[in-house]
Chains A and B, each alone.
Chain A
Amino acid sequence: MKNCYEPFPMHIDRVVIETTDATLKSFELTFDRKEDREEFFSKYNPGQFCQLSIFGKGEAPIGIASAAWEGDFVRFTVQKMGKFTTAIHAMHAGDPIGMRGPLGNGFPLDEWKGMNLLVIGGGCAFSTLYAMTKHILHPSHRADYAEITALYGTRNSGLCLYKPVIEEWHNRSDIEVHQAIDIAEDDWKYHVGFVPAVLEEMAPKPKNTVAVLCGPPVMTRFTLPILTKLGFPPERIFTSLEKRMKCGVGHCGRCNIGHKYVCKDGPVFTLKELQELPNEI
């Protein structure tokens, strides 16, 4: 029986403490069975998520934070928040864990070919954007897209995820990276201010450009009007949503907005699609 609720048996291969306050950790999981690994990578598209599974603690939907070319592992960056995430934060390399996925639609990367990408991330919501940007920066994909600009904001420099890689991006010529923190710090070389204000200052051109936005609700609420003001039409603004979920495949009912399920029809939606749905985010 092909059971959509049965997790793949996995092991934690590596744990990275991402932030100075240790509320965010990345977990790199490897597959116990070759056939599961092949199935996963035959389907995976950046922007998708998985249900991580710890027996006794249940499951939690977490975005995938790695690109397929990085290796035979799948990375998840998890903020310590509720029961499940507290449990996984106590786990170590070598521990067994379950995983179901990839789930959801992911970013429509084929649709975006030939266009400029404006990537806007805030806090821990940057994880799937990181996977997507990494995927696109790979030599075999980079030529499919025009200019790439990224803006990543965190409350302070200690809360920035994936620091070594983002440092490296600053030195690359095929991506323009902007970083922002809320309050000035010594030795900070980049922007100071909230993401919407920094974006307005950057004033990216909307022509032939797709904006992809993932952040906390407050950032999203104030950034969307700026994008609209800059001339981005709602069908070229993409965002990824979160909801409480159980099944992850559109059966258990709980993550709907109107007639759409965030797990199955999302998590990636255009602003235009969201404007046509009831306001229940």
Chain B
Amino acid sequence: MQTKWISKKDFQKLVSKWVKKHAVYAPVHNGKELAFQAVEKPEQIVLDGYLNTRYPAKSLFLPQSEVLMSYDGILHSVENAEKEKIILGVRSCDVRAMRLLDHALIDDQNPDEYWKRKRESAIILTLGCNEPEETCFCTAVGGSPFSTNESDGLLIDMGDAYCIYLLTEKGKVLFKDLPDTDEAQLKSVKKMTKQVEKDMPALLPKLELHDALMASFETDFWKDVSQSCLGCGVCTFLCPSCFCFDIVDETVRKERVRNWDTCMFRTYSLEASGHNPRPTKAERTRQRVMHKFAYWVDLIDEIGCTGCGRCVKYCPVNIDIREIAAAALQQDFEGMKK
């Protein structure tokens, strides 16, 4: 794998060049929070001293609210021209989530064109995580803080410089005139990343957890773990691998719009007859956890949680998906009251 070296000062100059030619999106403080936004000046970009934006990078591809069609007696698809854009500073967990969403939205006979066009027009540059937070657990679910999968390049912060792993042709073009990393530099990168990974949580036993959850399905376990849940849905709205949406008609604007939706709401699965397959928060919590840790495993043999920790960090009542997984592995569901 080809690696390059660039001082932070030169990197800023390089970004200034990109900004002139491309749309560049990166983490920016917007007054309230850190968010991926279009950048005008490289000084706005925040790559140090933070980990994740509040909203995952998926919001750039599956926005919270998106106009699908306009209505003038019949519905017409809205086709926004997608300009090529560079998305800089996406953490590995958010990058991995995007590949999961590719599977959910475009890997079949009815691809979601809105998602697909935005994906195809984006160059993604991952930023490695030198100091993961307490809520980070990517390594427990099959990821890495320095993943070289799924993006066009990986930036690793080496103090006054970045080491850049070039992962695709698109990535190579962006960094083409830079010097290659020398052996000593590469050695220091590997030493640092290895140490960080070593201190992260251990990999969960994927299949054992899958089987435990399947056995838990009709037990009171879910009543217990969901007891304090308020049903606010923040865990799903901020989740990088959640993709559920609702389609609604805005009659004044004459538009058909899709909005993020959540399995944590009662009306999500409520049928017109009054029947609801998930009538209480126990079934809804079960759906959220089992989608990530059981159903994704059935589908692609991978856990569908990327360990970003947002649901843990932002839950108002401190429900912790790591604790639910650990508890499920401890339980004897066969002996439990159904």
Closest Cβ of chain B to A112, distance in Å, is 24
Please determine whether B273 and A2 come into contact, CB atoms closer than 8 angstroms: no
Residue of B nearest to A7 (CB): B75
From residue A259, how far is it (CB to closest CB) to chain B in Å?
4
Complex: chain B residue closest to A83, CB-CB: B272
State the Cβ distance, B322 to closest chain A Cβ, in Å. 22
Known: A9-B74, A81-B272, A256-B291. Contact between A1 and B113, CB under 8 A? yes
A28 within 8 Å of B by Cβ?
Answer: no
What are the residues of chain B within 8 A of A60 when measuring CB–CB?
Answer: 272
Q: Do residues A252 and B295 form an inter-chain contact, with CB atoms below 8 A?
A: no
Q: Is A221 an interface residue (CB 8 A)?
A: no
**B247 contact from A5, A9, A244, Cβ within 8 A:** A5
> In the assembly, what is the distance between CA of A243 and CA of B268, in Å?
11
For the complex of A and B, the 5 pairs showing the least CB-CB separation, nearest first, are A82-B272, A253-B244, A259-B298, A259-B295, A249-B110
Decide if A18 is an interface residue (CB 8 Å cutoff). no
A84 to B247, CA, bound (A): 14
Q: B271 contacts A244, CB within 8 Å?
A: yes
Contacts of A110 in B (CB 8 A): none
Q: Provide the bound-state CA to CA distance between A251 and B112, in Å.
A: 8
CA distance in complex: A6, B299 (Å): 27
Interface size class of chain B, counting residues whose CB lies under 8 Å from the partner chain: 35 or more
Q: How far is the CA of A1 from the CA of B246 in the complex (A)?
A: 21
Known contacts A242-B271, A280-B283, A250 near B77 by CB under 8 Å:
no
Chain A residue contacts of B268, Cβ below 8 A: 244, 254
**A243 and B249 form a contact (CB under 8 A):** no
Check if A281 sits within 8 Å of B277, measured CB to CB: yes
- In chain A, positions 237-281 with a C-beta closer than 8 Å to chain B are 242-244, 246-247, 249-254, 256, 258-259, 264, 278-281
Instruction: List the B side residues contacting A278 at CB < 8 Å.
Output: 214, 217, 290
Residue in contact with A57 in the complex, picked from B111, B249, B261, B275, CB distance below 8 Å: B249
> Given A5-B69, A96-B73, A280-B283, A253–B277 Cβ distance below 8 Å?
no
Task: Give the distance to chain A from B39, nearest Cβ to Cβ, in Å.
Answer: 29
- Closest residue of chain A to B299 (Cβ to Cβ) is A259
Question: Are B269 and A254 within 8 A (Cβ)?
Answer: yes
A55/B256 in contact, CB under 8 A: yes
Mark interface residues in A48-64 (1 if CB within 8 Å of B CB, else 0). Answer: 00000101111110000
B113 partner, pick from A2, A264, A279, beta carbons under 8 A: A2
Task: State A5–B258 Cα separation when bound (angstroms).
Answer: 10
Q: Does B243 contact A (CB under 8 A)?
A: yes
Give the distance to chain B from A251, nearest Cβ to Cβ, in Å.
5
Residues 96-112 (chain B) with a chain A CB within 8 angstroms: 104-105, 108, 110-112
Chain A contacts with B in 138-158, Cβ cutoff 8 A: none
Cβ of B245 within 8 Å of any chain A Cβ, yes or no, is: yes
Please report whether the interface of chain B is mostly helix, strand, loop or mixed according to DSSP: mixed
Give residues in A with beta carbon < 8 Å to B: 1-7, 9, 32, 53, 55-60, 81-85, 96, 98, 217, 242-244, 246-247, 249-254, 256, 258-259, 264, 278-281
From residue A243, how far is it (CB to closest CB) to chain B in Å?
Answer: 7
Alpha-carbon gap, A247 to B256, bound state (A): 12
A26–B246 Cα distance when bound, in Å, is 27
Q: B156 at interface (Cβ–Cβ under 8 A)? A: no
Residue contact B75 to A246, C-beta cutoff 8 Å:
no
Question: A57 — which chain B residues lie within 8 A by C-beta?
Answer: 249
Given A2-B113, A4-B112, A280-B277, decide whether A253 and B245 contact each other with a Cβ distance below 8 A: yes
CB–CB B277/A243 < 8 A: yes
Closest partner residue, chain A, to B68 (CB atom): A5
**A1 to B117 Cα, complex, angstroms:** 10
* Other contacts beyond A3-B77, A249-B108, A280-B283: 20, CB < 8 A: A1-B113, A1-B117, A5-B77, A7-B75, A53-B75, A55-B75, A55-B251, A55-B254, A56-B251, A85-B272, A96-B73, A96-B74, A242-B271, A243-B271, A246-B245, A246-B246, A246-B247, A251-B104, A253-B243, A258-B294
Q: Pick the contact of B249 from A5, A58, A254, A259 — CB < 8 Å? A: A58
Q: Which residues of A contact B117 (CB under 8 A)?
A: 1
Answer yes or no: B50 CB below 8 A from chain A CBs: no
Cα(A70)–Cα(B89), bound, Å: 58
Q: List 23 A-B contacts (CB under 8 A).
A: A1-B79, A1-B117, A2-B113, A6-B68, A7-B75, A9-B74, A55-B254, A57-B249, A81-B273, A83-B272, A98-B75, A244-B272, A246-B261, A247-B245, A252-B261, A253-B261, A254-B263, A254-B268, A256-B291, A258-B294, A278-B214, A280-B278, A280-B283
